Amino acid sequence: MLLSMIGIVALLFHIVGVLAATHAVMNTRTPQGAFAWALGLLLLPYFTLLPYLFLGRSRFHGYVDLHQTKRRQLRTIIAAEIASNDPLPPALARYASIATMADARFHHGQRLRLLIDGDATFEAIFAAIAEAKQCVLMQFFIFHDDQLGRRMQQALLERAAAGVAVCVLYDGIGSHALPKHYVETLQAGGVAIHPFATQRRSNRFQLNFRNHRKVVVIDGCRGFVGGLNVGDEYLGLKPPLAPWRDTHMELQGLAVTDLQRSFAEDWHWVTGALPPLLLPRISDGNASTMIVATGPADAQESCSLFFVGAIHAAQRRLWLTTPYFVPDQAVMSALRLAVFRGVDVRVLIPSRPDHRTVFLASGLYAHEAVGMFRYRPGFVHQKVLLIDDDTAAIGSMNLDSRSFRLNFEITALNVDQAFASEVEAMLEHDFAQAYELNEDSYRKAPYLTRLAMHVARLFDPVL
């Protein structure tokens, strides 16, 4: 009797496994991912069905429909510039493919400010919040109920009490540890705050499609974007990853409209309404800035294509820094081609792990490219790209499959020699505190470590 029951249960697992494998073949974004899921679900459904419930879904419809129908409408509502048909100057034309892919555009005359590490970033954000007169739009992947999180909570409550409209989004998975009372306190104080989800009805089995964007907009005229979240670790207060190395930026000018637009799309999906949208102000800066928002709702794998386009644009130099270096084949090929055409390619990654599997996979990829460096002092979390002598991108995009295919990301691509010079000086200081990897670093590693690297790379699609 017991054996019969076990046989029936096993048969049911395999039947469900076949159905799930069919779903994976039809819906997974990449052939590699579809093959991996289908093979596991057919041969080992006892072990793969549960992970597939959490990680297997790779498409959704509601947000895609909104994304496609609302994007241009939102641009019309909040844009103040008249589109120009004038050809782009050569410095900007080399990014035309990115602009077309992302339905984005350059805004001229932007004023930029580089914010290095957590103290500078949050002091600037808190100062801007304190000066807000009409509205604060804020979106972070992570909020923590710690010293920095409570300081942010108090700053938002003060503005709401002063009659300022305050709208806050946080990612439900990234902020899973955020206690309920933190949110309730903000709501009781007049702050409109919501978790982001790609389904309006909660799905506790869905861990994909995280909103990884970090956006702050003050009164429609000052914007912040970069790599930091709201938590004490981002101030370097939590060993063993301290000191925490990260980068943010502030911008003023018409490019802030596109930060508003990105926030408005997410806010409209969550709430069904638009947040306050203010007309932008023309700035007197010298930079040309394009805001590139990417995500799984796009028809193409836009985050990966952003990096491919940016890498191909490099003529003399390509420096980038990322905490997670698990590139897909397109990005890896673009990096190799850049090396072959004589570009100075340097990639800075951490020497300390925050996610062991990703760290191991990054280590293997690091030994397949040239110009790879590990940052010694602490954990490097910044997402910065420096191209030639005039272009710097700062945002939330990592070089991994999750950012490429599953996360909603955003970055500011800035063309301005003065700003690029500041970023160059910052990165030179970072590289001076790093050591270079070479082939011996891999060959001399213990066999089990090398084996672990190769096993970790098998999990690229979900890293």
70 flagged as catalytic? no
Catalytic residue among 117, 145, 171, 219: 219
CA distance 265 to 282: 23
Structure tokens at 317: 């130099």
Structure tokens at 430: 């970072």
User: Residue 323: helix, strand or coil by DSSP?
Assistant: coil
Amino acid identity of residue 231, one-letter, is G
212 flagged as catalytic? yes
- Please count the residues of the chain: 463
312 flagged as catalytic? no
Structure tokens at 174: 């990234």
Residue 323 pairs in a beta bridge with: none
- Measured CA to CA in angstroms, residue 194 lies from 8, 11, 296 at distances of 44, 43, 20
Catalytic residue among 67, 145, 381, 416: 381
383 flagged as catalytic? yes
Catalytic residue among 67, 107, 144, 214: 214
Catalytic residue among 246, 388, 390, 460: 388
| CB contact at 8 A, 377 and 368 | no
Closest CA to 233 of 397, 122, 393, 398: 122
Helices 2-27, 45-55: inter-axial angle, 10-degree rounding = 40
86 flagged as catalytic? no
180 flagged as catalytic? no
- Measured CA to CA in angstroms, residue 385 lies from 118, 171, 446 at distances of 19, 25, 33
User: Residue 350: helix, strand or coil by DSSP?
Assistant: strand
CA distance 387 to 393: 8
| CB contact at 8 A, 180 and 209 | no
Question: Annotated catalytic sites, by residue?
Answer: 212, 214, 219, 381, 383, 388
